Amino acid sequence: MKKVCVFTGGRAEYGLLIPLIERLEEASDIELQLLVTGMHLSPEFGLTYQKILEDGHQISEKVEMILSSDSSVSICKSMGLGMIGYADALERLKPDMVVTLGDRFENMAVSTTCWTMRIPVAHIQGGEKTKGAIDDQFRHCITKLSLLHFTATEEYRKRVIQLGEHPDRVWNVGALNVEAMRRVPLLSKESLQNKLEIDLEQKVVVITYHPVTLEKLESSKYFGEFLKAIDKLQGCFLIFTKTLADTDGRAINSMIDDYVARNRNKSIARTSLGQLIYVNLLRYASLVIGNSSSGIIETPTFRVPTVNVGMREEGRIMAPNVISCDNLESEIFDAALKAMSTEFVESIQKMENPYEKSETSALILEGIRSGLDYKNTMKDFYDLECQP
């Protein structure tokens, strides 16, 4: 029996991986291993490894690697600690393949470790672009360290091939996010109201704002503009989900706490809403605003008006429900008003999500099975025919 190790470093990534984890658990020819690390093990980010256990999944290894700081130096040191811990964990687990999703520094560290240890990596959601985050370069580096590739759109598949990966090892399977959301149980409005302790009859604005990690010392300034803009939205209740373990993340989380403390009548903040609440909240939200990939990939399924702020997610394929704007207070406010207008809401009611495909996790499992026959990680660079 082949051993497949699924890597997860945080709440958001784990929520997307659930459909694949469940398929691997059910597979009679595969032994599932879970390598849990990063924010899952941090009290600051909610000790979300407990959710994995509550879901009935067995954790094979836990690796502490997040330092109690949000500077670029601490991120580098965390990656180093991660590689040390991952090497020991993988030596004990001896997986035939490691599966990793995304583009964060935790994924970069484990992919580098696997490559050095000659463990094949299956990478989910490569080929994308996010101009304003260091994750952009991490993602492409992970592509070159990986043997198998599962992209969310055909355009992203072509980009992975452009990076020199053989087409036979690159599949367009759609976004695992969308399948994960489709499987979440639906809550009644009353039940969701009770869980959040807010009135969902009012206009609800869901906010996720992450640091712009490629621009030093700009995150607080940008987020200050953002807060001034959303504060002007009349008759809206604001729900903040806090940022992840990124450079300047603590500064943003502190600003969120200060804002909510001053505006308890119209706002709340949560370290993690959890997939059940977050997905159901999208069904009732009047607006999603911020600079998270969720606003690009997941909100089109629910046809939720969305405002994408700044350059962090610039480069991703965006559905008609997404309005992009600059980091200026006036532009953010105008974009939010446009997104919540009756005309705009009506215009997106028949749109389709460009990231959605049927049975994404089944397609990934099929690709993983084919890759388990590889004896090592050796691969050639696939050259495209260049035009003179």
Over the stretch 121-175, which tens digit does the pLDDT of each residue have? Answer: 999 999 998 876 677 899 999 999 999 999 999 999 999 999 999 999 999 999 9
**Is 181 within the bounds of a domain?**
no
Within-domain flag for 388:
no
CA nearest to 99, candidates 55, 160, 46, 35: 35
> 141 and 267 share a domain?
no
One domain for residues 364 and 314: no
Do 342 and 362 lie in one domain? The reply is no
Is-contact 264 231, C-beta < 8 A?
Answer: no
- CA neighbor of 227 nearest in space, from 252, 194, 248: 252
Query: In the predicted model, what is the mean pLDDT of residues 199-207?
Result: 94
Farthest-apart Cα atoms in the chain, separation: 64
Q: Is residue 343 part of a domain?
A: yes
Question: What angle do helix axes 360-371 and 11-26 make, rounded to 10 degrees?
Answer: 70
Strand partners, 237: 204
Sheet of strand 97-101, all strands in order from the earlier edge strand to the far edge: 61-63, 30-37, 2-8, 97-101, 121-124, 148-151, 170-172
pLDDT digits (tens, 9 = 90+) for 15-45: 899 999 999 999 999 999 999 999 899 887 7
pLDDT at 214 over 60: no
CATH of the domain at 122: 3.40.50.2000
251 and 169 Cβ atoms separated by less than 8 Å:
no
Per the prediction, the chain carries an average pLDDT of: 92
List C-alpha distances in Å: 114 to 89, 106, 150. 11, 12, 18
Residues 288 and 331 in one domain: yes
**217 and 317 co-located in one domain:** yes
pLDDT tens, residue by residue, 80-127: 999 999 999 999 999 999 999 988 899 999 999 999 999 999 999 999
Does the residue 183 lie in any domain?
no
Nearest to 219 by CA among 228, 209, 229: 209
Residue 182 lies in a domain: no
Domain that holds residue 125: 2-174+357-371
Contacts of 124 (CB under 8 A, 6+ apart): 20, 99, 100, 101, 102, 150, 176, 364
Same domain, 113 and 237: no
Looking at the structure, do residues 229 and 293 belong to the same domain, yes or no? yes
The winner for highest mean pLDDT among 38-42, 45-49, 212-216, 303-307 is 303-307
Instruction: For residue 387, tell me if it sits in a domain.
Output: no
In a shared domain, residues 151 and 232: no
pLDDT in tens, 312-359: 888 899 999 999 999 999 999 999 999 999 999 999 999 999 999 989
Specify the pLDDT at position 166. 95
Number of helices (H), then strands (E), in the chain: 16, 13
Token digits for 355?
């990231």
pLDDT at 297: 94
Domain shared by 79 and 115, yes or no: yes
Torsion sign over Cα 287, 288, 290, 295: negative
What is the model's pLDDT at position 125? Answer: 94
310 and 274 in a common domain:
yes
Whether 154 and 25 share a structural domain: yes
Contact assessment for residue 239 and residue 205, using Cβ atoms and an 8 Å cutoff = yes
* Mean pLDDT calculated for residue range 54-79: 89
pLDDT average, residue stretch 245-269: 89
Asked if residue 283 is part of any domain, the answer here is yes
**Do 341 and 363 have their domain in common?**
no
User: What is the reported pLDDT for 245?
Assistant: 63
| Structural domain count of the chain | 2
Distances from the Cα of 317 to the Cαs of 127, 129, 152, 199, 297, in angstroms?
11, 9, 10, 34, 9
pLDDT attached to residue 247: 65
Asked if residue 352 belongs to a domain, the reply is no
pLDDT in tens, 71-80: 788 889 999 9
Residue 217 predicted with pLDDT over 60: no
DSSP letter (8 states) at residue 252: H
